A = this chain, B = another copy of it.
Amino acid sequence: MSEITIKFLAEKLNLASSTVSRALNDSHEISDKTKKRVLDLAKSLNFQPNANARSLREQKSKTIGVIVPDRVNNFFNLVIEGLESVCREEGYSLIVYNSYEDVEQEKKIIYSLLGGKVDAVVISLADEEKEVQHLEWLREKNIPILFFDRVARHVSGLKYTTNDLESAYLATKHLLDKGCKKVAFLGLSNTSSVGKARQDGFIKAHIEHGLVYDKNLLIGFGHDDIENQKVLEKLFYKINRPDGVLAAAEKLGIATLRALHNLRIKIPEQVRIVSFTNMQFADLLSPALSTIAQPAFELGSTCAKELIRGLKSKNINLFEEKKIELPSKFTIRDSSK
């Protein structure tokens, strides 16, 4: 680490370190002449105030902790990009953690954040029904928590989601309108508000169509891609296989496509598909995939704006329970025509 400190600059310039500090912070109580002397020297030495000392003194780190269940996922990446675009402007850095869809991991991460490393936490939960006690830890330490996508059900706070129920409803309605008789709903089997909402939308469309949905067609998947692939191939190998699919997660939509390819089943003639995904080349898949794309970047930037506003105003009320819902975009392509 560098030996150049405010004290060092002060000695060089025959000033008190407090004067140098004020000059660097452009305080009005310092003469222009002194300011110039200080700034010139600082610049010439590439001086940058020690971040840790400042954070300690100010009791804030200008850093936001972000916790996502799956860092490589396109959706979370775009959200992070949205968060960063705003935070960067405001001089905040992001530390991103991956909980790997594991509540225990999430707990560890949060525990490690309890010592003033971050000023706030933005999180998409690994599992919403399991313990929320670690979220309370943050509360106790007065570290604001904001939720997005997979939001906490039993903890209050700012919550940013997309219109999952409605999107799933529209997609399912579309499949039924196209004549599908047996539509399968593929979801991740962790207990998540998102999965729940999408499933509710799926069911709602069936009811409106006067149909009874088959409970066996609400299928839950884990995080083992190879295992999931097997389950899907088994599902579509059956005589009375589904003739429509609503995949509530990108990886499931992709796995379905792959399964159908392997089994030489024609899309959309034999099976129609719609998948939730933020992939940028759904139109180039074989066949072009009908998608529901979440407004990921906007979710991140909207959340960050509110967060920074709250952090600046120090008005705790700004972090009170509030639900913000942004609309996803449903695009019909060849896979469900």
Contacts and interface: CB of A to CB of B under 8 A. Distances in A.
Interface of A: 1-2, 46-56, 59-61, 63, 71-72, 77-78, 80-81, 84, 93-98, 111-117, 137, 140-143, 254, 257-258, 261, 280-281, 283-288
B77 A114 contact: no
Contacts of A1: 59-60, 116, 141-143
12 contacts: A1-B142, A52-B52, A52-B61, A54-B115, A56-B56, A71-B77, A71-B81, A72-B77, A72-B81, A95-B95, A254-B281, A258-B283
B49 A52 contact: no
Q: What is the copy number of this chain in the assembly?
A: 2
Contacts of A111: 46, 48
Given A46-B141, A52-B116, A286-B286, 14 more contacts: A2-B141, A46-B137, A46-B140, A47-B114, A49-B115, A50-B115, A51-B117, A52-B53, A71-B77, A84-B98, A95-B95, A254-B281, A254-B284, A258-B284
A142 B1 CA distance: 6
Contacts of A48: 111-115
Q: Which one of A47, A50, A60, A93 has the greatest number of beta carbons of chain B within 10 Å?
A: A93
B96 A94 contact: yes
Contact of A51 (B116, B287, B288): B116
A49 B117 CA distance: 10
A253 B158 CA distance: 40
A52 B50 contact: no
